[in-house]
Amino acid sequence: MQKAVPGICGGTGKGWGANMPQKNELVTLDIIDMAHDGNGVGRLDGMAVFVPASAVGDRLCVRIVKVNRTHCYGRIEQILRPSPDRIEPDCPVSRRCGGCVFRHISYEAELRCKQAFVQQNLRRIGKLELAAEPIEPSPVTDGYRNKAQYPVRMQKGGLCAGFFAPRTHEVIDCHTCKLQPPVFGELLEAVLSYMHTYHVSAYDESLGAGLIRHVYLRRGHRSGQIMVCLVVNGTHLPNENALVDLLLSRCGEIVSILLNVNERNTNVIIGEHSRVLYGKPAISDVLCGVRFELSAQSFYQVNSPGAELLYGVAAEFAALTGTETLLDLYCGAGTIGLSLAHLCRQVIGVEVVPQAVENAVANAARNGIKNARFFCADAGQAAARLAREGVRPDVIVLDPPRKGCAPEVLDAVAAMAPRRVVMVSCDSATMARDCAALAAAGYSPRRCRPVDMFPRTAHVEAVAVLSRLKSD
């Protein structure tokens, strides 16, 4: 951790008046708040200054690096008085990588920040007078990710693999990320060793040339099964058997080695077609007592212990008694609905992605779950189909993508008139907006609880439940 040192700043952060701060100017700044992206916030005569890697309670010497009309950005030059929340960062590339924006503060302080983020969104965006319940900490804070996607590039004359720096396609070379299990780093280095030995080229985005684009790894948290998937700009690798032998010699938990073909000029990582080099096309894992098969394309929460906690909160809020019809919109491969099937009379899952629906049907059959069915439709189509069948859901679960629910989805939910709506969200801002829309349609937000699924990053999940105000 940077030590407090005598100040070198002339400015005090006060008395600017009409004079705007200037680029490269040094100022003394007290950090008084935290922005949702993990940047600390100070103020210069009312103007917000966003400072990466700062903490509430810091007094800093800050160099202004960018000035906008309403706010500016700064970089820490010296820590004049450290926040009591500061700890020594334990990752040498966290500042450059940009993933772990909270690695410089204690986990307790991080949880306070995330609690505040959710509460602020409920009040500022949703205009809801609803107190967020205390945040649920993640059961694990390091090594929790069950999936990693490492871009591989040639930089500065050598092979690099790791993570893209924020807002760039520069690869930060990192093989031992604190968020990944240690075996991922070992497997990544095995792939790089194979590339060196057999002179296998890395992908060059500017030219659209080169072979290996990404090393994609999955690991079942409960099963321990590992998938190694190489995303390539081609259809074959040289000496594929040598690669397989090397990987298996490094790790006995590998059950699937795939070659995924992506020859398009795109930022999408995974291509549509994969070829099995060893083992099976998928791995299996158990979540909330349900076994799932995971292909390279399957969606699966990256923090399995955290997901079980998250779905437990959803179950608590759904308050199922065994007699209800549960509608799981945005059901994906059925993870939430299948985890709740034993608590209700029937589960109906709806998803617009056909492959995900096929996965959900197979997952239900694999686990002998007889009271769940799934079909491919959007929310409006699902509402019309259920109305024709005379089916009315008692509880609807929404687990939308980060952008939240489209207005027509919320209209369809309100038209189906369930007793309760449970919303699981990876973005509390869009959750607050959608809860406000449902409130206007006759649903009262009753509870909201944040759940930390992504320790050391700026992301936080939340679960809310709304109840219908008018009864039949």
Name the band, by pLDDT with cuts 50, 70 and 90, for residue 288.
Answer: very high
pLDDT band of residue 355 (cuts 50, 70, 90) is: confident
Task: Summarize the confidence of residues 138-160 as an average pLDDT.
Answer: 94
pLDDT over threshold 80, residue 14: no
Q: Each residue of 64-97: pLDDT tens digit?
A: 999 999 999 999 999 999 999 999 999 988 888 8
Report residue 13's pLDDT band, with 50, 70 and 90 as the boundaries. Answer: very low
The residue count of the chain comes to 472
Q: What is the model's pLDDT at position 297?
A: 87
Regarding the domain delimited by 147-295, which CATH topology (the fold level of the hierarchy) does it fall under? OB fold (Dihydrolipoamide Acetyltransferase, E2P) (2.40.50)
Q: Is the pLDDT of residue 4 over 80?
A: no
Please tell me the least confidently modeled range out of 172-181, 293-302, 305-314, 463-472.
463-472
The secondary structure of the chain, three-state, reads: CCCECCCCCCECCCCCCCCCCCCCCEEEEECCEECCCCCEEEEECCEEEEECCCCCCCEEEEEEEEECCCEEEEEEEEEEECCCCECCCCCCCHHHHCCCCCCCECHHHHHHHHHHHHHHHHHHCCCCCCCCCCCECCCCCCCCECEEEEEEEEECCEEEEEEECCCCCCEEECCCCCCCCHHHHHHHHHHHHHHHHHCCCECECCCCECCEEEEEEEECCCCCCEEEEEEECCCCCCCHHHHHHHHHHHCCCEEEEEEEECCCCCCCCCCCEEEEEEECCCEEEEECCEEEEECCCCCCCCEHHHHHHHHHHHHHHHCCCCCCEEEEECCCCCHHHHHHHHHCCEEEEEECCHHHHHHHHHHHHHCCCCCEEEEECCHHHHHHHHHHHCCCCCEEEECCCCCCCCHHHHHHHHHHCCCEEEEEECCHHHHHHHHHHHHHCCEEEEEEEEECCCCCCCCCEEEEEEEECCCC
- Architecture of domain 114-139+303-468 in CATH? 3-Layer(aba) Sandwich (3.40)
Q: Domain 25-86 carries which CATH code?
A: 2.40.50.140
Per-residue confidence (pLDDT) for residue 98, from 0 to 100: 83
Domain assignments of the chain as residue spans, ordered by start = 25-86, 114-139+303-468, 147-295
pLDDT score of 168: 87
Name which of 5-9, 56-60, 383-387 the model is least confident about. 5-9
Tell me what the mean pLDDT of segment 287-307 comes to: 93
Instruction: Give pLDDT, residue 298.
Output: 87
How does pLDDT run across 302-340, given as a tens digit for each residue?
999 999 999 999 999 999 999 999 999 999 899 999 999
Q: Would residue 440 be called left, alpha or beta, if left means φ above 0 and alpha means ψ between -120 and 50 degrees?
A: alpha
Please tell me the predicted confidence (pLDDT) of residue 370: 97
Instruction: Work out the angle at residue 453's Cα, subtended by the Cα atoms of residues 360 and 91, and round it to the nearest 5 degrees.
Output: 130
Q: Which one of the listed residues 9, 426, 435, 448 is annotated catalytic? A: 426
Give binding residues for S-adenosyl-L-methionine as ranges: 301, 330, 351, 399
**Catalytic residue check, 426:** yes
Mean pLDDT (whole number) for 389-413: 94
Same fold, 25-86 and 147-295: yes
Known binding residues are 301, 330, 351, 399
Note if the pTM is more than 0.85: yes
How confident is the model over 108-126, as a mean pLDDT? 97
